[in-house]
Amino acid sequence: MQTIRANEQRIKELFTELVSIDSISFLERNMADRLNEILRKTGFEVMEDCAGELYGGNAGNVYGFLKGTVPGPATLFVAHMDTVQPGISKKAVFHKSGRITSDGSTILGSDDVAGIVEIIEGIRYVQEHNIPYGDVEILFPIAEELYDKGSKGFDFSNIKAKQAYVLDLSGHVGKAALRAPSIVSFKIEIRGKASHAGFAPEKGINAMALMAEGISKIRQGRIEDDTTLNIGLIRGGSMTNIVSENCVCEGEIRGYHHERVMELLGKINNVFQNVIENAQGQDKDAELFFSHEVNIKAYAVAENSTVVQKFCNACKKIGIEAELTETFGGSDNNVIVNKGIEGVVLSCGMNNAHSVNEYIELEDLIKGAELVGALISQE
């Protein structure tokens, strides 16, 4: 592939424009409309699904297909449209050092505007320099920040690509995460019996005390090298002079092995079942309600897989070193791999995401676009 630098000025302009578009989860309408317009002008056939309607959002996932200039396998590129808060009235500030930040009052939104810009500019790169390429598919999902709700609602049955690149990883361009964890959240509710804590405490069932007993029996933190467990929320009771009738706690388990995560979930349930059974007495029945949700499911892609080898070769083409790593966070790639498509998550250069200290280097935006071009090039 030709070693021509991507269009720096246009990258800056597109990044500035897309950052300025408010696109909070489930409120991606303006971003979806603009990306639809850009893709059509770039030669894509574009459609938008109804995924947003599943959750009360105002936009769907945007999908585009671009016919290649030469025969070759299709490649899917993915970057999500939504951002977290504070993300209203964002502004990209360019510094002389090459760093791009917000004005300090909001996030920057490089998560995941950077990925979107690099995909679009990578396509433009090969088109403008007459570099042959195969079929290209693009998916810009909604609501990735809410455990991939957009991609979960997308119909992958018509996707032609067997390999996918999701541009949604922190750090310098050239990193690829080959595995990511399952993230399972759980909720435990104990219903006891209210009673006056001064006049008749023995007539009550203290739900908060039972919850505390159960929590004390659960190991938290990094419980194994590749598994974490955390109980992060607890609430209950009504007044200081009332035996607490109700208590709720919520937590999550993360781990690279889905079966192990589900095994731990079952053990937590058993711990609380035993606490409740041991507390039962005459006319004093406590109740336990245990629920969970598999937010994302773990995946692992082999280092010798086609999608990884193509990535390593593309890095070599543009003169950067490939770094193969793993992530302990989720992305749309969790959904994609579990749909049977070979996929990895690529760094798009963002740093300190989800904070007002978020930043990206202009050079990473440029290299990211060149990397996308190299990935679809058939030279």
Alpha carbons 13 and 197: distance in angstroms, whole number: 65
The answer to whether residue 303 is catalytic is no
Helix (H) or strand (E) run with residue 143 in it: none
Alpha carbons 287 and 237: distance in angstroms, whole number: 15
Residues contacting 302, CB < 8 A, separation 6+: 178, 308
Q: How many CB atoms lie within 10 A of CB 198?
A: 8
The answer to whether residue 144 is catalytic is yes
Residues β-bridged to residue 345: 166, 177
Q: Is 281 helix (H, G, I), strand (E, B) or coil?
A: strand
Alpha-carbon 5 to chain mean position: 30
Q: Distance of CA 198 to CAs 194, 207, 240, 242, Å?
A: 12, 17, 10, 8
Alpha helices in the chain (DSSP H): 8-19, 29-41, 110-128, 149-152, 207-216, 258-279, 306-317, 332-337, 362-376
Q: Is 156 helix (H, G, I), strand (E, B) or coil?
A: helix
Which of 48, 121, 144, 213 does the annotation list as catalytic? 144
Which of 28, 48, 49, 82 does the annotation list as catalytic? 82
Residues contacting 308, CB < 8 A, separation 6+: 176, 178, 301, 302, 324, 344
Name the residues annotated as catalytic: 82, 144
